[in-house]
Amino acid sequence: MNTLEARAVLFAAVEGGSPFWSGEIESQGPMGVIERAESGGYDPIKFAKTLQKIKNSDPSQILEKIIHSGAQFITPEDHLWPAQLDDLANPPIALVVRGAVENLHLPSLAIVGTRNPTNYGVRVAGDFAAGFVDREWSIVSGGAYGIDAAAHRGALVAEGITVAVLAAGIDINYPAGHMRLFEEIIENGVLVSEVMPGVSAIPSRFLTRNRLIAALSRATLVVEAAFRSGSLRTARDAAELMRPVMAIPGPITSPTSEGCHRLIGERAAEVVTSVADAVEFIGLSR
């Protein structure tokens, strides 16, 4: 078994973002982890499910399934690998991608926020996406309804590049209403997934994929978010990576702006009210 095959087996067996398995892969190497798993080097009770998957996996079948979905399998050993992901404490074992993979190397801004935005939030997300596309940046978001969709569409309307980091398999249109949007993204941008094709989205995967959104981007902008929101997790992931975090202020009476005001109040995000503000802040924060 070579390194690519070992990573394929681990990718299919291990849930993304696992601190334990990330540490093992870093210290032992992918092939070392496989060898240790097959020789009984891990607790057979604690890791029963993962070990069973490793032992029953056929790397050629895993890679074939990815190719059959119309995607590519890229690993940290690949020249296409976005090196900024290596800044994560628990980097992905590999990625399944569709589209122009080289665009993962463009300077990029993450735009995130609520799935239930106001018209104000939708307009702001689209305007900021277009403004950064005009400066030859790509826009990264999560492919969800709401602010994510507005950011992706803003980039596309401006004839720019956008990247959607999915919480489900690359071949699953989740949410279903975004089938057309994902097709448009693939034409010039990239769809990214940390799970195998055919794997469904579950709540925990939205949180683990948020770290990828933060890591792929040079900065993160929160447009609208509730007081407790997954978007705040993305912002905190970005801050842990020492990447600039920005937030759009909204009406003090708007529940969809409470999360942004929370970040601003905690000094966890810079207030920005225009694309020029954001560009200046990112420049000063490098």
Residue 217 is part of a domain; what is its CATH number? 3.40.50.450
State yes or no: pLDDT of 251 exceeds 90: yes
Q: What is the pLDDT of residues 16-32, one digit of tens each?
A: 999 999 999 999 999 99
> Which tens digit of pLDDT belongs to each residue from 82-133?
999 999 999 999 999 999 999 999 999 999 999 999 999 999 999 999 999 9
Count CB-CB contacts under 10 A for residue 124.
25
Above 50 in pLDDT, residue 74?
Answer: yes
Looking at residue 3, what is its pLDDT? 95
Q: What's the confidence (pLDDT) of residue 86? A: 95
Question: Under 8 Å CB-to-CB from 104, ≥6 apart: which residues?
Answer: 80, 82, 97, 163, 190, 192, 216
Structural domain containing residue 158: 101-285
Six token digits for residue 24 = 């093992």
pLDDT tens-digit readout, 203-228: 889 999 999 999 999 999 999 999 88
Structure tokens at 82: 């976005």
pLDDT in tens, 134-165: 999 999 999 999 999 999 999 999 999 999 99
Predicted local distance difference test score (pLDDT) of residue 286: 46
Residues 111 and 56 in one domain: no
Same domain for 90 and 173?
no
- Of 103, 95, 126, nearest to 113 by C-alpha is 126
- Share the mean pLDDT of the chain: 94
Domain boundary among 48, 65, 99: 99
Q: Do residue 206 and residue 145 come from a single domain?
A: yes
Handedness of CA 98, 101, 106, 110 (dihedral sign): positive
- Tell me: the pLDDT tens digits for 44-64? 999 999 999 999 999 999 999
Q: How sure is the predictor about 229, in pLDDT bands with cuts at 50, 70 and 90?
A: confident
Whether 69 shows a pLDDT value over 80: the answer reads yes
**In this structure, which amino acid lies at residue 174?**
Y
Closest CA to 125 of 5, 268, 278, 233: 278
End of a domain among 99, 124, 141? 99
pTM value is: 0.94
In the chain, what percentage of residues exceed pLDDT 90?
Answer: 92
Domain identity same for 244 and 149: yes
Distance, in Å, from the CA atom of 198 to the CA atom of 64, rounded to the nearest integer, reads: 13
Measured CA to CA, the distance from residue 275 to residue 18 in angstroms comes to 36
188 pLDDT band, cuts 50/70/90, is confident
95 and 107 co-located in one domain: no
Q: Are residues 78 and 124 both part of a single domain?
A: no
Q: Residue 228: what pLDDT?
A: 83
- As given in the structure block, the two tokens for residue 127 are 């305007």
Determine the Cα–Cα distance for residues 200 and 181; give it in Å rounded to an integer: 19
Helix axes 147-157, 179-188, angle to 10 degrees: 40
Residues 114 and 54 in one domain: no
Whether 224 and 166 map to the same domain: the answer is: yes
DSSP H helices in 146-193: 147-157, 179-188
Those residues with Cβ within 8 angstroms of residue 131's Cβ, 6 or more apart along the chain or in another chain: 275, 278
Residues 6+ apart with CB under 8 A from 183: none
Domain count, the chain: 2
Is 265 found in the same domain as 123?
Answer: yes
- Among the candidates 75, 99, 123, a domain finishes at 99
- What is the per-residue pLDDT for 284? 58
Question: Which residues contact residue 15 at a Cβ distance below 8 angstroms, ignoring those fewer than 6 apart?
Answer: 204, 208
Q: Tens digits of per-residue pLDDT, 93-107?
A: 999 999 999 999 999
**Strand 95-99 relative to strand 72-74, pairing:** antiparallel
